[in-house]
Amino acid sequence: MTNVIEAEQRSFMTGNEVVAWAALAAGAEFMYGYPITPQNEIMHYWTRLAPKFKRGFLQTEDELSAGFATLGGVMAGRKSFCATAGPGNVLMQEPISMAEMMRIPAVWFIQQRGGPSTATVIYSQQETRLTCLGGNGEGNRLVYSTASHQEVFDYAIKAFNNAWNYRFPTFVLGDGYQAKMREAVTLYDPAQRGIELHGTSRMLGRSSKQLDGQQVRHYRNTFNIEEELYETLMQHIADWDHMAEEVVEWAWEGDEEPDLLLVAHGVVSRAVYAAYEHLKSAGYNVAYFRPITLRPFPVAALQRAAGRCRQLLVAESAYGQLLSLVRDSLYGKTCAPIEGLLRPGLGITEELVVEWAQRLLARVG
């Protein structure tokens, strides 16, 4: 395969453009897509770049088709991916459910948008629950929530590698703000950073040479008895639990016994981190926690961070989707009150977080 990025290169570009470059660098071979803002430019950049590197693209009739065609591409042995948002993410839950049950390592880029079809397209974390736990399954997925363009690039490469390694559908969860804003990013060839790209294998349609001595494969979504489904699912869940230990990621900084622990994910965590630094330098006893994988959620790490805190503030551009993940993780582990700065579909600034934090800190002061 042609080298996509010859030498490390500092660039200034939008998040969607970063996704296209990252997918190329990660060895993605095929994208299937259907237009929806704010992910359109992923397709625009991909379709411009793909022919130069002998990669493919298909614009389908809807997201159901894009999602299922992605599964077909992966099963035929190609690193394939999809990008969508909002109502497209809703439609994609059906193919994602099939990917979970058949262990198809497809990769999705989700650029969250606010509300139903059609609403707003910039600030939103309203697809947190859907991306982590949507579909009619048990949420056997891997979801990275990115906060910067550098992370979009780094985690896109990781997403393809871990998808093919663990064989669960894998997501890079961004939002309209990350998709559309420009910022600096370093693009690199993974090999030059010592990152080995995971190989592919065909699930379907092996050549006659490969067929020799190998059994024909029959993949199915149908189960004859409850126990058969149960056993298959429990095996997937055991595999997922094993993966969870190896891939779970978070960021944590600050006091071990803080008066206030600030929690946020994705782009909102940037405002929250800035607020944390502001409060810290103003002499407050605070800490900051950010889940990077939302699925698996860094439960043990959050329990450690929150175990001796006096109160928590969860900030998100949704009405309690991260908050419920936090509450679930801490159930029975802390008596500290958990407050929510919940602004569904709205941006969250450093100033707003500082204002809320100071009010809460005054309570325990």
Partner 1 sequence: MERIHDHDPAMPASWNRATKPHRFCPGCGHGIFLKALGEVIDELGIAERTVFGCDIGCSLLAWDFLNVDSVQTHHGRTVPVVVGAKRANPELIVIAYMGDGGGYAIGAQHLVNSAMRNEKITVLLANNTVYAMTGGQMAPTTLPGQTTGTTPYGRDPDATGQPTLGPEMVAAITSNSAYVARGSVSNYPRLKQYVRQALENQLAGRGFSFVEALSGCPTNWHTNAKQTWSYLDDEMTKYFTLGEFKTPGQAEGGEDK
- The residues binding partner 1 (CB under 8 A) are 29-30, 32, 56, 58, 60-62, 64-78, 80, 94-95, 98, 102, 202-208, 211, 216-222
Taking the least distance from each CB to partner 1, the nearer of 13 and 66 is 66
Closest CA to 141 of 169, 102, 166: 169
| SS3 call for 312 | strand
- Cβ within 8 Å of residue 160, ≥6 positions away: 23, 26, 27, 28, 79, 81, 107, 170, 197, 198
- Please, which residue, 208 or 281, has the CB nearer to partner 1? 208
Q: How far is the CB of 282 from partner 1 (least distance, A)?
A: 54
- At its nearest, how many Å lie between partner 1 and the CB of residue 58? 5
Tokens of 16: 């969607």
* Smallest separation, CB 83 to partner 1 (Å): 15
Q: How many CB atoms lie within 10 A of CB 327?
A: 14
Tokens representing residue 220 in the block: 């199915």
Specify the amino acid at residue 260: L
Burial of 76 (0-12, 13-18, 19+ CB in 10 A): middle
CA distances from 193 to 53, 107, 300 (A): 21, 22, 30
Cα–Cα distance measured from residue 206 to residue 237, given in angstroms and rounded to the nearest whole number = 28
**57 vs 319 by CB, closer to partner 1:** 57
Is the distance from CB of 249 to CB of 293 less than 8 angstroms?
yes
Least distance (Å) between residue 108 CB and partner 1? 14
Nearer to partner 1, 6 or 61 (CB): 61
CB closer to partner 1, 198 vs 333: 198
Residue closer to partner 1, measured from CB, 10 or 218: 218
- Residue 54 Cβ vs partner 1, minimum distance, rounded to whole Å: 13
User: Any idea which residue has 């397709």 for tokens?
Assistant: 43
CB of 62 to partner 1, least distance (A): 6
